[in-house]
Amino acid sequence: VIPRHQQIAVSILLFCVLLSGIFIIRLTHKEEAKTLEAARFDPVTPPPTGKTEHIRVLVAYDDDRALRWRETDAFLPTERNLRAKEVLRAALSQYFQVPSPHPLAKGADVKDVYLIGTDTVVVDTTAQFADGHPSGILLEEMTLTSLIETLTANVPGIARVKFLVDGKERETLAGHVDLMSFYSTAAIHDLAKEFE
Amino acid sequence: VRLLREGDVTIGLDRRAEITNEQRAAVYIALHATSGEGVRVYTSMVEPPSTAAVKLTPWENAQTGFLASSQLLATAVVAELKKKKVEATRIAAPLRPLNNVAATAIAVEVSLGPKDTRRLPEGLQENVVSAVTATITQAKTKIGSQL
């Protein structure tokens, strides 16, 4: 026979377990409701509008010390700065193919593109783009020429381009070619002809 | 002849141009070695200052007044290298600190060959040095009295 005081103690314990279970379930529901409520007021960015286009990219070939046009498909948003970013990324993607015609460091990418007025573009690249870039006047010059020419071929009206590395100015790409100046796209167009 | 660096020390790009301009050098020659093949002789891609009425030369455009003589020298060095059967080309480049040098200025990039052995191919160093020095001597009259 179970003594009476033990029966009372077990009953109280079971009641406490039941009570805390109900409390936990209510607390969980309350938190879920709060999260849903907060999510309803989060600003939602609409997906960029645009379409897949057939574009031309100027690709550097180290072995031939030449730049040649290639054709590729890329999804290009209608917003001009996003379009510029995707065009540059399409050019960079050529260098991650195997075998690469002009190897770049893993993680070399375009973070953002800013438009100043209608004709000036500032390109912010990842740190790896510059930190891991092979050093050499020709190699550095071919990279910048490839990117600027691809940009102007697919985003009309750009007259000047400047590069940043991880949001900051840097003296050179990999020890030689200038990153402080704004590049004239007309001058780069003339330079590109020398490599064709 | 003054060497900007006589050892493995780092001198900032602006400082290299400052030293050259302070010395009132006649010719600035930057020598580079890299992988690949051949020799490339570079001149600045400097653009003229945006305002025509600038009385002081802007630092970024210091090379503007010397660009013609730099191009002449580069062309002559390439021709001299070709005489020595060295594959050479002349290209413009947005290369620092050429834009900031107030003197005839070129950069010579010598390739170490397809397999980067960290040593110049035999005879190339002598050919490059003799081509550059011979050209400076010969071009003196063509480029002007400053040489």
Residues A138-162: tens digit of each pLDDT: 999 999 999 999 999 999 999 999 9
Instruction: Check if A149 contacts B (Cβ < 8 Å).
Output: no
Least Cα separation, residue B140 to chain A (angstroms)? 27
In chain A, which residues have their Cβ closer than 8 Å to the Cβ of B42?
137
Instruction: Check if B92 contacts A (Cβ < 8 Å).
Output: yes
DSSP element (H, E) containing A194: helix A185-195
pLDDT, position B114: 64
**Is the pLDDT assigned to residue B45 strictly greater than 70?**
yes
The verdict on a CB contact (< 8 Å) between B92 and A180 is no
Residue B111's DSSP bridge partners are B34
DSSP element (H, E) containing A54: strand A50-61
Instruction: Check if B11 contacts A (Cβ < 8 Å).
Output: no
Q: Which among B97, B93, B133, B122 has a CA at the least distance from the CA of B109? A: B93
Least Cα separation, residue A161 to chain B (angstroms)? 13
* Predicted confidence (pLDDT) per residue in A72-113, tens digit: 999 999 999 999 999 999 999 999 999 999 999 999 999 999
Q: Which amino acid is at B114?
A: P
**Which of B5, B31, B47 has the highest number of chain A CBs within 10 A, making it the mutation to test binding with A?**
B47
Radius of gyration of chain B, Cα coordinates, nearest whole angstrom? 16
Residue A120's DSSP bridge partners are A116, A160
pLDDT, position B49: 66
pLDDT, position B147: 52
The answer for A 117-136 residues in CB contact with B (under 8 A) is 134-136
Least Cα separation, residue B77 to chain A (angstroms)? 18
pTM: 0.80
pLDDT, position A121: 97
**Is the pLDDT assigned to residue B113 strictly greater than 80?**
no
**Is the pLDDT assigned to residue B146 strictly greater than 70?**
no
How far is residue B115 CA from its own chain's centroid? 25
Q: Which amino acid is at B57?
A: T
Q: Which of B38, B91, B99 sits opposite A194 (nearest CB)?
A: B91
